[in-house]
Structure 1
Amino acid sequence: MTPVVVPDAPAATLSDAWRRCVGTGRLNLALRRDYQDSLALVQSEIGFRYLRGHGLLSDDVGIHRPYDAAGHRGTRYSFTYADQIVDSWLGLGIKPFVELGFMPSGLASGDQTVFWWKGNVTPPRDHREWAALVGAVVRHAVDRYGLEEVRTWPFEVWNEPNLVHFWEGASQEAYFRLYEVTAAAVKEVDASLQVGGPAISPGADDWWEPFARFVEARDVPVDFLSFHAYTTGPAQPVPFGTYQTLRRPQSLLDQFAAPAKLVAGTRLEGLPTHVTEFSTSYRPDNPVHDTAYQAASVAPVLAAGGDHVDSFSYWTFCDVFEEENIPTSVFHGGFGMLGHRQLRKPVFHLYAFMARMGGDVLHRGEDHLVTRDGAGRVTVLAWQPVGGTDDGDEPDRHELRLSVPVGGGATTAYVHRSRVGEHDGNAFSAWRELGRPASPTARQLDLLHEASAPAREHASVPVTEGRADLRLTLGRHEVTLVEIDPVRDETPAWLDDARIVGRPAEAAG
């Protein structure tokens, strides 16, 4: 196999679009310890910038509190829970990507709800009262956290209004009115605050042109565009789970790129674009989320997604999530990159690998991304290319050979490799081998945590004319990170490893 010659000169700067935002379960769940421990772990090893989830205005956060008692009637805005949630996020270095929804029951025009926790998805019965609620939320944020901070928070209007499950009748007219009222309420607090939408799901291309026409005709502010991307086909339900067919990972990149083309020539052209949800499956109970395939399929998206959008938010960071009722087992196909009790899934390691990449992109291919940092460390993220359901299974092995530059005049390089796949770094695989315990014992949890660690190996390789040759064999659905550091040998002349009892094999030669 002829090696891919990686250039020495940077071709680009690695975009941070891949970790600008991540998704979360409904906001009330942020009050739980498992959620808080999981977010702390994610931030320590990955470090996302923003966090987005449903339910800020739903009843279980308790902001909108109408009252009629003892001759007094009005509405009180309570931020008891909201403050705890946002304070905890900011304390971990992550900001809110504020989704304004769903409808509090005291303001709802109907009783249609979605999810087990019954988020109300009807328009407000009084748009003036809705505007007052939005204004109160934004003003409170400014008062508590300061205008300069809140100016960095995007305010997104609703979630997937093109779907009847998330917006009564999926009415464009009703959504456009809601968007106009909401945008005005946000801007009334401060004109420089960011507001956007329409937060539509895949397959809603017919919303872009009407949305552009509406905001142009009414001169409605739009600071960014948002939408979602998934690769799954129809649901195939089983008890407490769902299977689905999948399209190729390229489908996600195609979806990322589509809106810019659809709004070309309109007032929306050139606005920042955010994918506020993406994954393979849109179901919170599809086992694919727990697998090594998930990581291998997302890898090329992380490597190239920043070419198309300003951010793309993995849905979600952890399995503390309850759209389809309370999960019945520790692994249940949840959206999270972390399972319950902070069990790391392969896709978590993919993100943690990305967080260790350098800032200068040297090369990118269909199965690898090569970067370098300011200290001269070269990093290679490699993955086995995967297809969709109709493409058949991937082979058991994937070969990659690279010639990478090594600076500093070094004659040797230290190569450190971390990998996850069908067996290594795969708690889901270990869980199946344990008999799929629904509620693992303390010992079983310890075993699962140990099994979730990536396999690691290291070696010294020669550097010839400023280059090292890497020969990588990847297993099925493997994602691997290789870190190459130039070596400056500081071995004193008097040391002789061959004299060590049980000396290393290399010293014996």
Structure 2
Amino acid sequence: MKFKQIILFALILSSTGFSVAQEPVKINIDFSSKIGEMKPIWAWWGYDEPNYTYMKDGQKLLTEIAALSPVPVYVRAHSLLVTDEGLRAALKWGSTNVYTEDDQGNPIYDWTVIDQIFDTYIQRGMKPFAQIGFMPKALSSKPEPYRHFWKPGAKYEEIYRGWAYPPKDYEKWAELVFQWVKHSVNRYGKEEVESWYWEVWNEPNIGYWQGTTEEYIKLYDYAADAVKRALPTARIGGPEGTGPGWDKAAEFLTTFLNHARNGTNYATGKKGTPLDFITFHAKGSPKLVDSVVQMNMGAQLNDVEKGFEIVASYPEFKNLPIIIGESDPEGCAACSEADYPHNAYRNGTMYSSYTAAAFARKFELADQYGVNLLGAVTWGFEFENQAWYAGFRDMATNGVEKPVLNVFRMFGMMSGQRVKVSGELNHNHESIIKNGVKGDKNDINALAAMDKNSATVMLWNYHDINEKMGETSSVKLSLAGLPKNKLLVQHFSVDQEHSNSYNVWLNMGSPQNPTASQIKELEKAGQLKMASSPFWINADQSEFDLQLDIERQGVSLLKISW
């Protein structure tokens, strides 16, 4: 395209909220160069406290999450089999009281609460990523003490009580699983339950499982056999261990896969065990440096890479779906900012820019290893009756959505095929794993997709260091492969001024008892906003340039329709 034409487009965009800057970062997007499906790997959520599901703010947030996704969202929750007569919800605690026994040791099944949880999902078009765990008190080999009373600031290991122990009777454990799946089929129908994913336990290579690795494998075998007996077409997987970037976690995943391939099944005596998908976790590791939050996306991506590398080394498993069962900037959603200052990234735009950049690199790593990445679970929901913007890892506070949820709204607008992105780019997954995003080189990059009647470009300006907020960088987008047509351009943004309820709350004076009108204003600010009015471009050729500014820790989405 000629220089004058480039300037003309830049001036048009400047008048609609874009601007022209000196020495912009150059990013090239070729919409004719397809590199893979734009899978909705982001449409997965999870949380510790299952009873929040059907509470006021829980239902509200689930409705919003379901609405932002063009495909069914899968939801994973802990403690679906935990015993607690009071059914109390608390941080890192939940229960359904689904299994008790009479005086003679006969099982008593009560599906009331678990149905309430799953009904809440199904009513919104969502689907359970059904976690088979934890151990009911009547089945625990060490039932006392059973319940924990953890709170932020306490030692994490205090949560591991009687619910974390192996069953005293594996046959009864299997029968519980069988009855649960059978009940689900009777309630929701065979076709619906066939669309779910069933998994066994959570992070059984650390304190969540107070047994050995072999005892977990036995637990899995009995559960998987029970699932398949109740519904042969059901999907079962695991082992849901911690990040394989840790050597012991990698060894655990390998041990499990070896057993699934050719081990002797504890339940059936046959070779191997059912495995329809593979799960592991991936976490970052932020810290406080000179009172400033410093993220470590490299640690999370290293977990992803090591997990993919292990799965890819098994020819019989390489094409199985992979679900990263928890995929987050760090490890404890219920650990608040007040007690853990390195979590200060959570309320504002650092969490949202991190999310955009991290998900793009999961795609890159899946492409590199040729594995089938199906989903990456964001372990962040909401916490009922907590202080406003308390710094939990959540999507909303008191029913008001945080900036990070708007990045998922952007993802929900991206479909079709991912396309090639190139240019003067400082970072990719390899450089971030090795060195992070530090110094004067921001991670300014893009993820782009092409569908039948639209194209989308997600841009971010990410840095590991939480400072210099509001500082902008100019980006020059060279777009190729679009139709010669009249193009409608929409520009959405998450930054200090757009789609940011937290900044609005701060400007209100950080009220802990906001008025009804303030809450209404915050709710409006929590929605995804355009950075400018939509505008048209008459594209007489398939290549042209656009130029815009993007704030540090900001995320933009361009949607081009015809």
Asked if structure 2 preserves the Cα contact closer than 8 Å seen for 1:386 and 1:394, the reply is: no
Cα distance 1:266–1:379, how it changes in 2: closer, same or farther (>3 A)? closer
TM-score (structure 2 length as normaliser): 0.76
Residues 406 and 344 of structure 1, relative CA distance in 2, 3 Å threshold: farther
Is residue 74 of structure 2 the alignment partner of residue 50 of structure 1? Answer: yes
- 1:212–1:266 Cα contact (<8 Å) kept: no
Q: 1:245 to 1:13 in 2, by over 3 A?
A: same
User: Closer, same or farther in 2 for the Cα pair 1:207/1:267, shift >3 Å?
Assistant: farther
- Cα displacement (A) at 1:210: 1.9
Instruction: Tell me the equivalent position of 2:309.
Output: 261
Instruction: Tell me how far 1:205 sits from its aligned partner.
Output: 1.3
C-alpha deviation, 1:65, in angstroms: 2.4
Partner residue, 2:102: 67
Alignment of 1:141-160 (within 5 A): 141-160=184-203
What CA distance in whole angstroms lies between the structure 2 residues aligned with 1:98 and 1:281? 23
- Choose which of 77, 80, 86 in structure 1 pairs with 2:118: 86
Separation in 2 of the partners of 1:64 and 1:155? 18
Paired residue type of 2:379: W
Task: Find the counterpart in structure 1 of residue 500 from structure 2.
Answer: 426
Distance in 2 (alpha carbons) for counterparts of 1:191 and 1:415:
48
More displaced stretch, 354-363 vs 13-22: 13-22
Give the conservation status (yes or no) of the 8 Å contact 2:30–2:421: no
The corresponding residue for 2:459 is: 382
Deviation at 1:73, TM superposition (A): 5.5
Which residue of the partner structure matches residue 109 of structure 1? 141
* Runs of at least 5 residues in structure 2 that lack an aligned partner in the other structure: 1-23, 84-94, 152-158, 265-271, 337-342, 367-372, 426-444
Q: Which residue of 1 is the match for residue 476 of structure 2? A: 401
- Give 1:207's aligned amino acid: F
| CA deviation map 1:292-325 (0-9, x unaligned) | 0111111123234245222111112x3136xxxx
Give the CA deviation at 1:408. Answer: 5.2
Partner residue in 1 for 2:323: 274
**Deviation for aligned residue 1:146:** 2.2
Q: Alignment partner of 1:356: what SS? A: coil
Question: For residue 410 of structure 2, what is the aligned residue in structure 1?
Answer: 353
Q: How far off its partner does 1:291 sit?
A: 1.7
Cα 1:469–1:277 change in 2 (3 A) is same
Contact 1:378 1:406 in 2 (8 A): no
Could you tell me how far 1:198 is from its partner in structure 2? 1.1
Q: Secondary structure at the match of 2:352?
A: helix
Is contact 1:399-1:473 (8 Å) kept?
yes
Q: Return the alpha-carbon distance in structure 2 between the equivalents of residues 13 and 311 of structure 1.
A: 15
* Residue 214, structure 1, aligned to residue 246, structure 2: no
Report if the CA contact (8 A) 1:235-1:244 is conserved: yes
The alignment partner of 1:106 has SS state of helix
Measure, in 1, the Cα distance between the counterparts of 2:451 and 2:62.
Answer: 27
Give the Å deviation of 1:388: 5.9
Q: Does 1:189 align with 2:230?
A: yes
With over 3 angstroms needed to count, the CA separation of the structure-2 counterparts of 1:147 and 1:4, relative to structure 1, is same
**Residue 280 of structure 1: how far off its partner (Å):** 0.7
User: Cα offset for 1:94?
Assistant: 0.9
Corresponding residue SS for 1:457: coil
Q: Are the structure 2 counterparts of residues 17 and 452 from structure 1 closer, same or farther at C-alpha, using a change threshold of 3 Å?
A: closer
Greater relative contact order structure (CA < 8 Å, 6+ sep): 2
For residues 427-485 of structure 1, what are the alpha-carbon distances to aligned partners after superposition, in whole Å with 9 as ceiling and x for unaligned? 12222333332332322212322333435303444535233321011012110111223
Q: Is the 8 A contact 2:39 2:415 kept in 1?
A: no
**Paired letter, 1:143:** N
CA contact (8 A) 2:278 2:320 kept: yes
- Matching residue of 2:332: 283
Task: Encode CA deviations 1:114-136: one digit per residue, 9 max, x unaligned.
Answer: 56496721111211111111111
Code of the aligned partner of 1:167: W
Q: Distance in 2 between matches of 1:193 and 1:439?
A: 47
SS at structure 1 position matched to 2:547: strand
When the two chains are superposed, the root-mean-square deviation of aligned CA atoms in Å is 2.8
Cα contact 2:32–2:480 (8 A) shared by 1: no
Separation in 2, partners of 1:234, 1:403: 37
1:319 aligns to what? Answer: 382
Please say if residues 331 and 428 of structure 1, whose CA atoms lie closer than 8 Å, have aligned partners that are also in contact: yes
Match of 2:539 in 1: 463
Shift of 1:346: 1.6
CA contact (8 A) 2:82 2:96 kept: yes
Task: Give 2:10's aligned residue.
Answer: none
- Quote the offset at 1:13 in angstroms: 4.2
CA distance in 2, matches of 1:201, 1:114: 22
Q: Contact conserved, 2:100 with 2:137, CA < 8 A, in 1?
A: no
Structure 1 unaligned regions, length at least 5: 237-241, 487-509
Q: Given that residues 57 and 102 in structure 1 are in contact (C-alpha distance below 8 angstroms), is that contact kept between their aligned partners in structure 2?
A: yes
After superposition, what is the alpha-carbon deviation per residue over 1:39-78, rounded to whole angstroms, capped at 9, x for unaligned? 111111235431111011012312102122xxx7522211
Task: Tell whether the 8 Å contact from 1:462 to 1:468 is kept in structure 2 after alignment.
Answer: no
* TM-superposed deviation, 1:243: 9.4
Q: Does the CA-based 8 Å contact 1:14-1:361 persist in structure 2?
A: yes
State how far apart, in whole Å, the 2-side matches of 1:302 and 1:152 are.
24
1:114–1:156 Cα change, 3 Å: farther
Q: State how far apart, in whole Å, the 1-side matches of 2:263 and 2:175 are.
A: 24
8 Å contact from structure 2 (residues 490, 530) kept in 1: no
Alpha-carbon distance between aligned partners in 2 of 1:152 and 1:76, rounded to the nearest angstrom: 28
SS at match of 2:238: strand
Q: Which residue pairs with 1:125 in the alignment?
A: 168
- Say which SS state the counterpart of residue 51 (structure 1) adopts: strand
User: What is the TM-score of this pair, normalised by structure 1?
Assistant: 0.83
How far 1:283 sits from its partner (Å)?
Answer: 2.2
The residue type paired with residue 49 of structure 2 is R
* Deviating more after overlay: 466-475 vs 393-402: 393-402
Letter in 1 for 2:217: F
